[in-house]
Amino acid sequence: MRVISTMKFTFFRMVREYITLLLLLVVPIVLLTVFSFVLEGVTTETGEPLINEQNVIFVLVFQMFGGALAMAYIHTDFFTERKQRIYALPFNQTLYAFSIMVCGIVYSVLLGIVLMTFSEFVFGADWGNWLWAIYIIFLLALLSNIVCLIFTFSVNNFKIAERLSEVYGVGFVILAGLIFPVPGNDFFVFVNTYVNPITLAADAIYGMNQSHAGEAWFRSNILLIASGVLFIVMLILGKRKIR
């Protein structure tokens, strides 16, 4: 259990990185601010302020990129710069890799919570039950981390793995119809109802707000099961690379 003593430092390393803070905290805050300015007073057909929906989606979108940090750390620690040193240390390397992932998830969720409280208190967006919202944010961060690590372990060229992780994030943003409306045929409806993590998470949060608890649990369980399955895939792939 010597790994636990390293977690503190992994976390410090993550917090110190100002580029991450800029991309995952400052940019969303600025965008949220601008969006809320623009959308102030606009309501949907049901009379609910549009800010609610926009804010929730925004915070969830930035969770899709939360895996990039753990990915970069695993890469430098296990495959390049610090490879020799990490393997020489007297602790379980697999557990250390796992601890990096845990730190990545915790950090990403923390940023999500900061954004959530920001939008709730500053712009009055309604997040419903906070515990539920945090659970959903956690599920997205978990999924994003696992997917990013699968890319790291399965693609030999790290540059390409990084690009793939961006494709994962940006691709689902586009599929969700946030940049331009996607065609409303069966395929896209199916993807956005059962596959796309962003819409799944957003629907789970709305569902709980509008007291469709069954629906909300169903959506969040899809995310949970997907994470479970992909976690096993990640373990199998990771075992070949880290020993």
Partner 1 sequence: MTIFWFSLKRSFSNTTNLIFLTLFPVGAIFLPMGEVWPFLPYGYQFFGIIVLFVGIRLATIILEDRAKGVVKRLAVAPVTHFQYLTQNLLAFSIILILQSIIVIYGGVLYGHELYHPEWLLVLFISFSFTSLAVALAWISLYRSKETSFLVYMSVIFLIVFLGGLLMPIEAFPDILQRIAVIFPTYWLSEGIVWIVFGNDISEFLLINGVLWLYTIIFLVIGSVRRIN
Chain residues in the site for partner 1 (CB under 8 A):
19, 22-23, 26-27, 30-31, 34, 37-38, 40, 159-160, 163, 179-181, 183
CB of 123 to partner 1, least distance (A): 14
Q: How far apart are the first and last CA of the chain?
A: 17
Residue 154: CB partners within 8 Å, gap ≥ 6? 161, 237
CB-nearer residue toward partner 1: 183 or 214: 183
CB-nearer residue toward partner 1: 41 or 90: 41
Q: Can you tell me the distance from the alpha carbon of 145 to that of 82, in angstroms, rounded to the nearest whole number?
A: 21
CB of 30 to partner 1, least distance (A): 6
Binning the chain into helix, strand and coil, the percentages to the nearest 5 are 80, 0, 20
CB-nearer residue toward partner 1: 40 or 81: 40
CB of 31 to partner 1, least distance (A): 7
The answer to whether the beta carbons of residues 100 and 70 sit under 8 Å apart is yes
Amino acid at 66: G
Q: Can you tell me the distance from the alpha carbon of 183 to that of 187, in angstroms, rounded to the nearest whole number?
A: 9
CB of 173 to partner 1, least distance (A): 12
Q: Which residues of 202-233 are buried (b: 16+ CB within 10 A; e: fewer)?
A: bbbbbbbbeeeeeebeebbebbeebbeebbee
CB of 20 to partner 1, least distance (A): 9
CB-nearer residue toward partner 1: 68 or 223: 68
CB-nearer residue toward partner 1: 1 or 19: 19
Token look-up 């390293």 returns 6
CB-nearer residue toward partner 1: 192 or 209: 192
CB of 23 to partner 1, least distance (A): 6
Q: Which residues of 119-128 are buried (b: 16+ CB within 10 A; e: fewer)?
A: beeebebebb
